[in-house]
Amino acid sequence: MAKTLLDKVWDAHTVTELPSGQTQLFIGLHLVHEVTSPQAFQMLRELKLPVLYPDRTVATVDHIIPTHTQVRPFDDEQAETMMREIERNCRDFGIRLFDRSTGNQGIVHVIGPELGLTQPGLTIACGDSHTSTHGAFGNVAFGIGTSQVRDVLASQCLAIKKPKLRRIEVGGTLPPGVYAKDVILHIIRMLGVKGGVGYAYEYAGAVLDRMSMEERMTVCNMSIEAGARCGYVNPDQTTYDYLGGRPLAPQQGAFERAVAWWQSMASEPGAGYDDVARLDGSSLSPVVTWGINPGQAIGVDESIPRADSFPADEREVAEDAYGYMDLRPGTPIAGTRIDVAFIGSCTNGRLSDLREAARVAKLGKVKSHVKAIVVPGSQEVARQAEAEGLDEVFRASGFEWRLPGCSMCLAMNPDKLVGRQVCASSSNRNFKGRQGSPSGRTLLMSPAMVAAAAIEGAVSDVRRILEGTGR
Ligand code: SF4
pLDDT, averaged per 10 consecutive residues of the chain (471 residues), comes to 97 98 98 96 97 98 96 94 97 98 98 98 97 98 96 98 98 98 98 97 98 98 98 98 98 96 98 98 98 98 96 95 98 98 98 98 98 98 98 98 98 96 98 98 98 98 87 53
Q: Which of 463, 397, 468, 471 is nearest to 182 (CA)?
A: 463
Cα(14)–Cα(10) distance, integer angstroms: 6
**304 neighbors 296 (Cβ within 8 angstroms):** no
Q: Would you state the torsion angle of the CA atoms of residues 416, 419, 421, 426, taken in this order, to the nearest 10 degrees?
A: 30
Q: DSSP labels for 107-142? A: -HHHHHHHHT---TT-EEEESSGGGGGGGGGSSEEE
Q: Which atom of ligand 1 is nearest to the CA of 349?
A: 1
Q: Which of 389, 380, 139, 410 is nearest to 131 (CA)?
A: 139
Supply angle C-alpha 391, 34, 72, rounded to 5: 60
- Mutate which of 33, 342, 409, 427 for ligand 1? The one with the most ligand atoms within 8 Å of its CB, which is 409
Cα(5)–Cα(268) distance, integer angstroms: 8
pLDDT at 471: 53
Whole-number Å distance, alpha carbon 361 to ligand 1 midpoint, is: 24
428 lines ligand 1 (CB under 6 A): yes
Listed in sequence order, the residues at least 6 apart from 96 whose beta carbon sits closer than 8 Å to its beta carbon are: 54, 57, 58, 59, 90
348 lines ligand 1 (CB under 6 A): no
E strand or H helix at 297? strand 297-299
**Ranges for all domains in the chain classified under CATH 3.30.499.10:** 5-264, 286-467
E strand or H helix at 299? strand 297-299
63 lines ligand 1 (CB under 6 A): yes
**What beta strand segments (E) does 155-261 contain?**
157-160, 164-171, 199-204, 230-233
Rg for the chain, CA atoms, rounded: 21
- Mutate which of 426, 428, 430, 442 for ligand 1? The one with the most ligand atoms within 8 Å of its CB, which is 428
Whole-number Å distance, alpha carbon 138 to ligand 1 midpoint, is: 21
130 lines ligand 1 (CB under 6 A): yes
34 lines ligand 1 (CB under 6 A): no
Whole-number Å distance, alpha carbon 90 to ligand 1 midpoint, is: 21
345 lines ligand 1 (CB under 6 A): yes
Q: Which atom of ligand 1 is nearest to the CA of 130?
A: 3
pLDDT at 78: 93
224 lines ligand 1 (CB under 6 A): no
Whole-number Å distance, alpha carbon 439 to ligand 1 midpoint, is: 20
pLDDT at 404: 98
Q: Alpha carbon of 205 to those of 41, 220, 274: distances in Å? A: 42, 14, 17
Whole-number Å distance, alpha carbon 53 to ligand 1 midpoint, is: 25
Q: Would you state the torsion angle of the CA atoms of residues 86, 91, 94, 95, taken in this order, to the nearest 10 degrees?
A: 30
**135 neighbors 220 (Cβ within 8 angstroms):** yes
Which residue has the least CA distance to atom 1 on ligand 1?
345
**416 neighbors 438 (Cβ within 8 angstroms):** no
Q: Which atom of ligand 1 is nearest to the CA of 108?
A: 5
Instruction: Name the CATH superfamily for 5-264.
Output: Aconitase, domain 3 (3.30.499.10)
Cα(101)–Cα(284) distance, integer angstroms: 43
Whole-number Å distance, alpha carbon 65 to ligand 1 midpoint, is: 12
Which residue has the least CA distance to atom 2 on ligand 1?
409
The CATH classification of domain 286-467, taken from the options 3.30.499.10, 3.30.465.10, 3.90.420.10, 3.40.50.300: 3.30.499.10
Whole-number Å distance, alpha carbon 458 to ligand 1 midpoint, is: 25
For the chain, the distance separating the N- and C-terminal CA atoms, rounded to the nearest angstrom, is 45
Q: Considering the entire predicted model, what is its pTM?
A: 0.98
Whole-number Å distance, alpha carbon 217 to ligand 1 midpoint, is: 13
Whole-number Å distance, alpha carbon 16 to ligand 1 midpoint, is: 32
State whether residue 408 is helix, strand or coil. helix
pLDDT at 470: 55
Q: Which atom of ligand 1 is nearest to the CA of 410?
A: 7
- Mutate which of 63, 353, 425 for ligand 1? The one with the most ligand atoms within 8 Å of its CB, which is 63
pLDDT at 306: 97
Whole-number Å distance, alpha carbon 131 to ligand 1 midpoint, is: 9
**Is the alpha carbon torsion for 364, 211, 219, 68 positive or negative?**
negative
